[in-house]
């Protein structure tokens, strides 16, 4: 990485301008081809991309994010043909998932053919690949014409970015540039599914649910929580603390009464409290700054808003953030996975 801070470039790409020949897209692609790290939107969150085949380029991602070196990266591609530039021995179940979900929020773990840089795979024999469903990402990846490693474009451990502003808040001066394509859609990262065994295994829940996958390939397993701190994770989001805001974040199990009791207790101790709540309950709380993250009846909306809510309180004066819990069904599994990873305490 350069010895001086970057003067981080900003490229604004309007919807009507999205094509691989767009001047801003071409400039951002040329930066990636020149082994720089550039942030760009996907349909899930903003990613920080670099040439997946060049260790020196990928290292700029790790340095900018402060990311642990044993945490593998996901390779982003523009076309199905690019799968075999980094993977081999692709099983039928993986091809069926590609047919059904690509482009989309699904990362597939496959056997690496050795082309991806070792710091992309973290030295593993496998590699995670996905094809994002966002017009800016697709145009940029096509213009790059190479596989691009891209974790979320945030400081490691902080809430993932769903806008270009979130990226700039975390990484200004640390990366070459950011392509602003507006707010992202899904809001939580892609589902990661391991297809290297006989039965597919979900390593990280995300925008594509277990039920979605099973409708295509039959029974799918779900990995248990990552317990061994010395063990190397096979996918992002398995081992380390993620998605956390600056202030302590406590999840409160139960209903409105239980949450209000915790607010009252903290108020008596002199704390200023923030609360992430469903829109059905926001008017029922007293003594806290309340931020709605969407309806209990629309967990896709909650997934879309959850990181923005966590980041909202970074710009406020609260010293403790509480959060309601959500049903672990459908995309709610991914929502609760992220909230539990972000939480410093879970109050039962």
pLDDT of 242: 59
Question: CA-to-CA distance for 7 and 168, rounded, in angstroms?
Answer: 11
- Cα–Cα distance, 206 to 193 (Å, whole number): 10
Q: Which residue has the tokens 């672990």?
A: 328
Q: d(Cα 51, Cα 309) in Å, to the nearest integer?
A: 32
Tokens of 85: 């530039």
Q: Six-digit token pair at 292?
A: 């709605």
Report pLDDT for 234. 59
Say what the pLDDT of residue 185 is.
86
The pLDDT value given to residue 217: 98
Question: Would you identify the CATH topology of the domain 249-347?
Answer: Rossmann fold (3.40.50)
Specify the CATH superfamily of domain 9-222: DHBP synthase (3.90.870.10)
- Which residues in the chain come in under a pLDDT of 70? 1-4, 16, 225-243
Query: Which pLDDT does position 256 carry in this prediction?
Result: 97
Q: Domain locations in the chain?
A: 9-222, 249-347
**Alpha helices by DSSP H, the chain:** 23-33, 55-65, 83-86, 92-101, 118-121, 135-144, 164-171, 210-217, 256-268, 299-312, 332-342
Mind listing the pLDDT tens digit for each residue in 28-60? 999 999 999 999 999 999 999 999 999 999 999
pLDDT of residue 314: 82
Helices (H), 132-276: 135-144, 164-171, 210-217, 256-268
pLDDT at 230: 52
267 three-class SS = helix
Global pTM value = 0.90
Domain 9-222 and domain 249-347 have a common topology: no
């Amino acid at each position: 990485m350069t010895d001086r801070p970057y003067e981080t470039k900003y490229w604004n790409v309007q919807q009507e301008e999205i094509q691989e020949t767009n001047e801003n897209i071409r400039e951002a692609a040329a930066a990636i081809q020149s082994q720089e790290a550039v942030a760009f939107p996907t349909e899930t969150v903003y990613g920080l991309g670099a040439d997946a085949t060049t260790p020196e380029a990928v290292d700029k991602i790790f340095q900018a994010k402060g990311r642990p070196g044993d945490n593998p990266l996901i390779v982003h591609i523009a076309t199905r043909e690019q799968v075999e530039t980094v993977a081999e021995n692709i099983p039928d179940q993986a091809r069926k998932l590609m047919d059904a979900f690509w482009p989309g929020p699904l990362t597939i773990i496959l056997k690496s053919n050795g082309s991806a840089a070792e710091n992309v795979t973290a030295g593993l024999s496998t590699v995670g690949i996905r094809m994002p469903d966002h017009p800016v990402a697709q145009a940029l990846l096509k213009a790059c014409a190479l596989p691009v490693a891209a974790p979320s474009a945030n400081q490691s451990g902080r809430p993932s970015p769903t806008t270009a502003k979130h990226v700039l808040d975390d990484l200004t001066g640390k990366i070459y540039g950011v392509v602003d394509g507006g707010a992202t859609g899904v809001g939580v990262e892609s589902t990661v599914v391991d297809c290297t065994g006989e039965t597919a295994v979900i390593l990280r829940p995300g925008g594509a649910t277990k039920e979605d996958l099973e409708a295509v390939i039959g029974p799918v397993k779900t990995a248990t929580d990552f317990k061994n701190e010395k063990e190397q994770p096979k996918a992002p989001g398995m081992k380390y603390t993620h998605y956390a805001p600056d202030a302590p974040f406590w999840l409160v199990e139960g209903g409105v009464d239980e949450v209000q009791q915790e607010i009252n207790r903290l108020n008596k101790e002199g704390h200023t409290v923030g609360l992430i709540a469903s829109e059905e309950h926001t008017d029922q709380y007293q003594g806290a700054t309340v931020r709605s993250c969407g309806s209990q009846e629309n967990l896709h909306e909650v997934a879309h808003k959850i990181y923005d809510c966590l980041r909202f309180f970074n710009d406020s004066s609260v010293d403790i953030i509480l959060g309601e819990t959500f049903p672990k069904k459908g995309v709610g599994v991914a929502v609760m996975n992220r909230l539990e990873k972000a939480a410093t305490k879970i109050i039962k």
